[in-house]
Structure 1
Amino acid sequence: MNILQDLEFRGLLNQVTDQEGLQKELEKGIVKLYCGFDPTADSLHIGNLLPILTLKRFQEAGHQPFALVGGGTGLIGDPSGRQTERTLNEAEIVVQWTDKIKNQLSRLLDFERETNPAKTVNNYDWLSQLTMIEFLRDVGKNFSVNYMLAKDSVDSRLEAGISFTEFSYMILQSYDFLNLFQKENVKLQIGGSDQWGNITAGMELIRRSGEEEKVFGLTIPLITKADGTKFGKTASGTIWLDADKTTPYEFYQFWVNAADADVINWLKYFTFLSKEEIEVLEKSLLEAPEKREAQKALGREVTTLVHGEAAYKQAVKITEALFSGNLSDLTAAEIEQGFKDVPSFNATNTEDLNIVDLLVDAKISPSKRQAREDVTNGAVSINGEKVQDTAYMVGENDRIESKFVIIRRGKKKYTLIRY
C-alpha cells in the first residue's frame, strides 16, 4: 500500500486539504514536507512522537522530511488547544531547549541517507531577520482580522482573552511555510489536528504571495485514551522522550501497561509493524488477552525506537526482576531506574545494622515489636531473599555495588536503602 493508504489504515489521517491531489504529487517523486516543534520544555514528550513518526513514515516511503524547531515561534507561544496565555520563556532558555530538541529529533529521523535525508531547520533564523515594517507590509497585509477570528485556535480564546502576541502566532507559522516553500520547495505541512487553522493559513499566504504551485496540508488526530484520561500522562507525570526525565524502564512500563481497549490503535499509531503483524497481535488479544502479547510488542517496538535495543532489554530485565522478586542480579544503574519512585532511606551509618533496627529506622515497620513479627513471619526480604532471623545483620555483602539494599515488606512494599 502507498503512504496515504498506510496512514489511513493506521487511523493517522484526520484532515487532508486535497487527498487526491496530494496522492498524485507523491507519485511524481520526492515530496518535501515539514512539521514544527516549539521548544516549550527541555524535552519532547510522547504527544510529539506521533507527528515525528509520521515524518519518518514519509521518509521510509521515499520522501524528505524537514523537522522545524521553533526557536522563533517558541518565544511567542501557540494559542492552539489552550484556554490561557502561555508564560513567555527567556530567550536563553529557549535556545537551550531548541538544541536539546534538535538532538532528540536527530535520533528518530534518518539524517544520513543519500537521496532523502531528514533536515532540521530553526525558524529563528528567518523570523529574527524580519523587521516590524516588513512583517506588517509584506506578511500581515495578507491576513484579514475576520479570517483569523474564524480560526478555532483564536475563536476559542476570545471569551477568556488573547494577547496580540499569541494572536500573531498564526501569521508567523504561515510565514514558516512560505519560507520553506520558496527556499526548499517544501509542499506539505503536517501537524496535530489542533494545527489545522495554522496550516491552512500558511497555504493561503503562499497562494496570496503569487505562487502558482500547489501546496498541501495534513493533520493527524490527537490521541485520547479509551478510559477518558489524558494520553501521555501518568500518576508520576508526563512521559518524556529524554531518558533523564523519564527512564527507559518507566517509558517501557507506560506502553506495556496499555489497556486492551487502546493497545491495537497504539500499535498502528506508534510502531512500524505491518498490517499483517498487527492483525496477528489483535487475534492474540481477543483469544488470549492474559498473555499480553500485543502490549509486549508495543513496549518492545516503541522503547527500541526511542531509546535503542540495549535500553529496551534493560527495561525488560528490570521488569522481570521485579515480577519474580529476584533482585540480586540487577546493577546499581538498573536499580536507579526500577526504584526511582519507591520510598528510600539514606543510611548514614555504613556499619552492619540489625535487621529489626533497620526496619524501624527506615520507617518500614512502625515499631521494633512489629519489625520482629514481620521478620519471623517471613514478610521481609532483602534483595529478593527472605530473612527470618531477627538477629540478622545487614552488611556490606548485602549491598548491590556497595550502593543499595532493597527491602521488601509484604508482597509489594519496597524500600530502597541508599549507602
Structure 2
Amino acid sequence: MENILEELKWRGAINQVTDEAGLTKLLADKSVGLYCGTDPTGDSLHIGHLIPFMMLKRFQMAGHRAHILIGGGTGSIGDPSGRSSERVLQSMETVHHNEDALTAQMKHLFGADNITIVNNYSWLSKIDLLSFLRDYGKLFNINTMLNKEVVASRLEGGISFTEFTYQILQSVDFHHLWQEHDVQLQIGGADQWGNITAGIDLIHKMEGQDAQAYGLTIPLMVKADGTKFGKTAGGAVWLDPKKTTPYEFYQFWLNQDDRDVVKYLKYFTFLSREEIAELAQKVADQPEKREAQRKLAQEVTAFVHGQAAVEQAERISAALFSGDVKTLTADDIEQGFKNMPAVECSSQPTNIVDWLVGTGIEKSKRQAREDVTNGAIRINGDRIREVEHVIDPAAMFAGRFVIARRGKKKYFLAHVK
C-alpha cells in the first residue's frame, strides 16, 4: 500500500511535518496512534474544522489508531491561535453542553473502528496549581514560548497569562496521550504548528530524546479568489443539520468555482486518483456540465449527513428547477425554501385573489386578478387561471405550507398559521 504521507502530499494536504523520514518509517512499520483535537467553543463543527479531521479519517481508513480529543479542559480557557483579542470565557455548563454535541458529531463521522474519543478535562482538571508549575511550567522556556507565532502575533495587543499557558496545556495533552494511549503523532491546522512542536519538546524532555513523537499540519485553505474557505454570505457552513440544512450543505459544494473544485475533491472526498483525474478532465472539457461539483456535493454530503440526505437535496434541486414542487415533502419544503421570501396565511380555504393580497404577495386585487388571468401564478406547482379558485392550505405538505410562484422564478413560502 502507498505510504499515507505520499497520498496526503498528492492531495495537497500537508503543510509541515516534523522529522518526515522518521515518521515515514514509523508509519510503514506498524499501526500508529495519532490524534486531532478540537475545543468545544460551539455546539457544532463547521467545514473549516472538518479539514484536519478528514486527514484523521484517512489515517483511520489506512488502519492507524485515530484518537479525537474534545478539549473540555483547554476549551474552558481558550486557544489564542488565529485570534487578535482575548476570547470571552464560556460557563462550564456551556462547555459541557458543547462537549456532548461535538462528541455525538464525531461518533457519527468516524464510526466505531480504530477510533477513540477522549476529553482532556478528565486529566487537566486533576492537576493542581503547584503540580502544574513544578511538573510542567519548569520545562517551558518563556523566550521560546514568546517566539511561537501564535503568541508573538498577540504581543502588541496583549495576551493574558491564561491564554499564554494554552500551549503548555496542549503539550500536556500530547504527553498524556503518548503515555496512556501510545499516541505518537498529532495533526492539526497550520495555526497549530507552535502548539504541536511544544508538545513534542515536552515529550522529549520528560521521556528522553529517543521518544518517538511527531507533528503534521494541514495548509490553510484559501479559495481561488483569495477569500477564506468555508464562509458564505450567510456565515459559516455547519455540520449540524439544524444550523445548515443538508440541502444548503449540498448547494454549498455544488456552487464551487471551477478553479477550486479539483482541490476540494482531493481534500474532502475519498475518491481515487483515477476518479479525480477523470473529473478534472471534465472540468477542462465540459465545465458547463459541472459534473465535478455535483460529485463533490454528493460525496461530502453523504459523508456528513448520509446518502438519504444526498437524495433529498437532489430531489429538492430538481423540483425547484422544473417547478414541479408537488413531489416534495413538508420536510423538503422546509429545507429547500428556507431562504426564500416567507409569508403567513390562514388555515382556512380562501379565494386566490384575496389570498394573494392578504399574504402580501400581490399589492392589490387588480394586480392579483391580472396575474391570475395571465397565467403568472402557480400554487403548489399548479398554474391557476381562474380568479374564483379557492386555495385550501390543508390540501398539501401536511397542511404546513403553501408554495406560490409569481412569474418564472419568484417563489414565496406561505407558513400556515
Scaled to the shorter chain, the TM-score interval is over 0.9
Q: Give the corresponding residue for 2:211.
A: 213
1:223-372 aligned within 5 A? 223-347=221-345, 349-372=346-369
Report SS of the residue matched to 2:295: helix
Runs of 5+ unmatched residues, structure 1 = none
State TM-score, norm by structure 1.
0.96
Q: Determine if contact 1:408/1:415 at 8 Å carries over to the other structure.
A: yes
Question: 1:20-419 to 2 correspondence within 5 Å?
Answer: 20-111=21-112, 113=113, 117-211=114-208, 212-347=210-345, 349-396=346-393, 398-419=395-416
The Cα of 1:397 is off from its aligned counterpart by 6.3
Inter-partner Cα distance in structure 2 for 1:34 and 1:332: 41
The structural deviation recorded for 1:396 is: 4.5
Q: CA deviation at 1:398?
A: 4.3
Q: How many residues align?
A: 414
User: Offset at 1:411?
Assistant: 2.4
What's the CA shift for 1:369?
Answer: 2.1
Secondary structure of 1:286's counterpart equals: helix
- Residue by residue over 1:392-419, the C-alpha shift from the partner in whole angstroms, topping out at 9 and shown as x without a partner, is 2111564322221100112222111122
Per the TM alignment, residue 324 of structure 1 is displaced from its structure 2 partner at its CA by 0.8
Does the Cα contact within 8 Å between 2:393 and 2:402 map onto a contact in 1?
no
- 1: CA distance, partners of 2:247 / 2:262: 21
Deviations 1:243-280 (A, max 9, x none): 11111111101111111111100000000000100000
- Residue type of the alignment partner of 1:59: Q
Secondary structure of the 1:35 match is strand
Deviations 1:205-264 (A, max 9, x none): 111113332210000012111123332121222111111111111110111111111110
Output one character per residue of 1:73-106: Cα deviation in whole Å (capped at 9) or x when no partner.
0001001011111111000110010011011111
CA contact (8 A) 2:393 2:400 kept: no
Equivalent-residue separation in structure 1 for 2:31 and 2:111 (angstroms): 15
Which moves more between the two structures, 31-40 or 379-388?
379-388
Aligned equivalents of 1:303, 1:191: Cα separation in 2: 23
8 Å contact 1:200–1:217 — kept in the other structure? yes
Per-residue displacement from partner, 1:358-404 (whole Å, max 9, x unpaired)? Answer: 22222212222222222223221112222222222111564322221
Provide the rounded CA distance (Å) in 2 between the counterparts of 1:94 and 1:397.
43
Contact 2:403 2:413 in 1 (8 A): yes
Q: CA deviation at 1:49?
A: 1.1
SS of 1:328's partner is helix
TM-score (norm. length: structure 2): 0.97
Q: Distance in 2 between matches of 1:46 and 1:250?
A: 13
- Please list the CA deviations of residues 326-371 of structure 1 after superposition, one character each: whole Å capped at 9, or x if unmatched: 0001011111111112222222x32221222222222212222222
Following the alignment from structure 1 to structure 2, what is the Cα–Cα distance between the partners of residues 306 and 227?
26
Measure, in 2, the Cα distance between the counterparts of 1:376 and 1:229. 48
Of 382-391 and 13-22, more deviation after overlay is shown by 382-391
Could you tell me whether the CA contact under 8 Å between 2:351 and 2:388 is conserved in 1?
A: yes
CA distance in 1, matches of 2:241, 2:229: 19
C-alpha contact 1:52 1:108 (8 A) present in aligned 2: no
Deviations 1:152-198 (A, max 9, x none): 11111111111111111111001100111111111000000000000
What is the letter of the counterpart of residue 150 of structure 1? N
Question: CA distance change for structure 1 residues 214 and 397 in 2, over 3 Å: closer, same or farther?
Answer: closer
User: RMSD of aligned C-alpha atoms?
Assistant: 1.2
User: Aligned residue for 2:3?
Assistant: 2
Cα distance per residue 1:24-57 (max 9 Å; x no partner):
0001101100011100101111111111111110
SS in 2 for 1:187: strand
Secondary structure of 1:401's counterpart equals helix
Q: Which amino acid aligns with 2:129?
A: M
**1:15 alignment counterpart:** 16
